[in-house]
Structure 1
Amino acid sequence: MKHSLAGRVWPNATAAVLALGFLFPVYWMFNTAFKPTRDIITEDPVWFPLHGTLEHFATAVHAPDFWILAGNSVLVTVLAVGLSLVIALCGAFALTRMRFRGRKGILLTFMVAQMAPWEVMVISIYLIVRDADLLNNLLPLTCFYLLMVLPFTLLTLRGYVAAVPKELEESAMVDGCSRRQAFLKVVFPLLAPGLMATSLFGFITAWNEFPLVLVLNKEPAMGTLPLWLSQFQTQFGDDWGATMAAASIFAVPILVLFLFLQRKAVGGLTSGAVKG
């Protein structure tokens, strides 16, 4: 009994310590964003401010080009993630359900692309975009974000498609559905957990991307929020409250999306698909 109790306590204690270590920087970011300036610059840290303020958030929101850059971030992220889901879903279905020459080679190519460090290719990407006269344009940014998230999305969705029994699809085709109708009516609804998980990963990847936009889009109005956030300290000097408020605004969409999707992504993949 004691051995069993100890076996349950130490994993939970370790998880609690790790969670505290990961959550504390996030708490301190939001805490600093709401603190009055006098509580930020004091030598004694104020762990729980008694009087919060929205002054720093107002400073961040009224920064030059904030709304334009926020729109740019939303546009390129949504387009990249949406296109990657469509392409990866079609590719995953073909790689799982069809047998053709070169299938393993295609899978190997996507695995290599997933492992490739994009940072070392920034210079070559810059040269390609420059020669195409597309610098300071959102189109190449969207295309390269799509290429970043596509390998992981395809490989993940391939596993979800493979987990759906072929018999479900064949039964629908026997009942008169075409292959496309069987996929849309039977297979596609069962892929919701995979689609949500991969879209969350893709959103985080594209939303947080910094090196490419730093190199490709030099014009202030053609950047994204990560670039705006990196210049915030220079723009506001030592205004740490405004800097933390800007970081909080940047983090909120990811936190909201994660809280919304993580509950819906849990559950059995084919639970309830076949009823007696």
Structure 2
Amino acid sequence: MTTRRRPRAGRIAANAAGLAVAAFAAFPVFWMISTSLKPNREIFSTTPRPLPAKPTLEHYRDIFGGQIIPGVSFASFLVNSALVAAATVLLSGLIALLAATAVARFRFRFRTTVLILLLVVQMIPLEALVIPLFLIIKRAGLYNTLPSLVLVYLGFSLPFAIWMLRGFVAAVPKDLEESAAIDGANRWQIFWRILMPLVAPGLVATSIFSFITAWNELIFALTFISTESRYTAPVALTFFFGRDDTAWGGVMAASTLLTLPVMIFFVLVQRRMVAGLMSGAVKG
């Protein structure tokens, strides 16, 4: 009886600890959503309540009605962020998969050096690259354009994506590709029908990293974009913070809209992400 009770008690304690950690992590998100539905008098009340007494959508109406920047709706900022994030995810996934295949499958000179450089690039602080990248973007004629952000975000997401996908590609047996070649499949068919499905979990995991990097980034978006209508959502969020006061209702409403796409994207691909991370940890 004692041997049965101990494992059961251990599971209960582990589950309770997991629920406590989940509640602690989810509480800021809950408070953010709750605050976005409160009127200003409840937000600045000296006796805060976890739930709004009279929920309201006035803060959402304000940000979509052009209250941040006159004449520009917050929806346009979300669209700019979505375009940049989607382009970054698609390009980084394609380029990283091709580069990871080359690094994992082919033996060439300075191959080890390339792999080491991928790690070194990730150690450089972002702040140290703002001025050099600004000069490059300026001379290339891409200043104040959304493609400039896509190029910068690609530079930051590709090293991690290539390094992670390399382990997935290396774990795919070459015998599968050789058997497909014997059956008459060309290189493109082997890549699309054999390699692509097997490395899909890793591709999803790296896509989430690329998406979050492009969706939440602020420093480069604030530096490379000067036209208000081309701002991304994180840049637009800074306009709620004034010198004398802060529109906390608008901050929480805009933050909720910024958080929801990431949560939805993660829920849609969480199974493949977990499988990808576990597979990468075992095979890498």
Aligned to 1:44: 47
Q: Is 2:199 the counterpart of 1:191?
A: yes
Aligned to 1:115: 123
Q: Which is worse superposed, 94-103 or 10-19?
A: 10-19
Q: Is the 8 A contact 2:205 2:276 kept in 1?
A: no
Give how far 1:17 is off: 2.5
Q: Is 2:200 the counterpart of 1:175?
A: no
Judged with a 3 Å threshold, the aligned counterparts in structure 2 of structure 1 residues 184 and 132 are, in CA distance, closer, same or farther, namely closer
Give how far 1:112 is off: 1.0
In the TM superposition, 1:100-111 aligns within 5 A as 100-111=108-119
Aligned to 2:282: none
Give how far 1:267 is off: 4.4
CA distance in 1, matches of 2:206, 2:140: 31
Amino acid of the structure 2 residue aligned with 1:15: G
Judged with a 3 Å threshold, the aligned counterparts in structure 2 of structure 1 residues 182 and 25 are, in CA distance, closer, same or farther, namely same
Q: Is 2:250 the counterpart of 1:250?
A: no
Amino acid of the structure 2 residue aligned with 1:34: L
Q: Is the 8 A contact 2:93 2:203 kept in 1?
A: yes
Tell me the secondary structure at the aligned position of residue 234 of structure 1.
coil
TM-score, normalised on structure 1?
Answer: 0.90
* Aligned counterpart in structure 2 of residue 19 of structure 1, from 19, 22, 36: 22
Amino acid of the structure 2 residue aligned with 1:75: L
Q: Which is worse superposed, 215-224 or 3-12?
A: 3-12
Q: Deviations over 1:63-109 (max 9, x none)?
A: 23223322221121111221111111111111111111111111111
Instruction: In structure 1, list runs of 5 or more residues that go unmatched.
Output: 272-276
Amino acid of the structure 2 residue aligned with 1:38: R
Q: Deviations over 1:144-196 (max 9, x none)?
A: 01111111111111111112222111111111112221121111112221111
Aligned to 2:134: 126
Aligned to 1:161: 169
* Aligned counterpart in structure 2 of residue 53 of structure 1, from 47, 52, 56: 56
Q: Is the 8 A contact 2:202 2:276 kept in 1?
A: no
* Aligned counterpart in structure 2 of residue 222 of structure 1, from 230, 254, 270: 230
CA distance in 1, matches of 2:233, 2:60: 15
Amino acid of the structure 2 residue aligned with 1:233: F
Aligned to 1:259: 267
Aligned to 1:135: 143
CA distance in 1, matches of 2:166, 2:246: 49
Q: Is 2:65 the counterpart of 1:62?
A: yes
CA RMSD of aligned residues (A): 2.3
Amino acid of the structure 2 residue aligned with 1:43: T
Give how far 1:239 is off: 2.9
Amino acid of the structure 2 residue aligned with 1:229: L
Give how far 1:141 is off: 1.4
TM-score, normalised on structure 2?
Answer: 0.87
Q: Is the 8 A contact 1:60 1:243 kept in 2?
A: no
Judged with a 3 Å threshold, the aligned counterparts in structure 2 of structure 1 residues 169 and 231 are, in CA distance, closer, same or farther, namely same
Instruction: In structure 2, list runs of 5 or more residues that go unmatched.
Output: 280-284
Q: Is the 8 A contact 1:96 1:158 kept in 2?
A: yes
* Aligned counterpart in structure 2 of residue 28 of structure 1, from 19, 27, 31: 31
Give how far 1:18 is off: 2.1
Judged with a 3 Å threshold, the aligned counterparts in structure 2 of structure 1 residues 129 and 265 are, in CA distance, closer, same or farther, namely closer
CA distance in 1, matches of 2:180, 2:172: 13
Give how far 1:44 is off: 0.9
Q: Is the 8 A contact 1:192 1:265 kept in 2?
A: no
Give how far 1:3 is off: 4.4
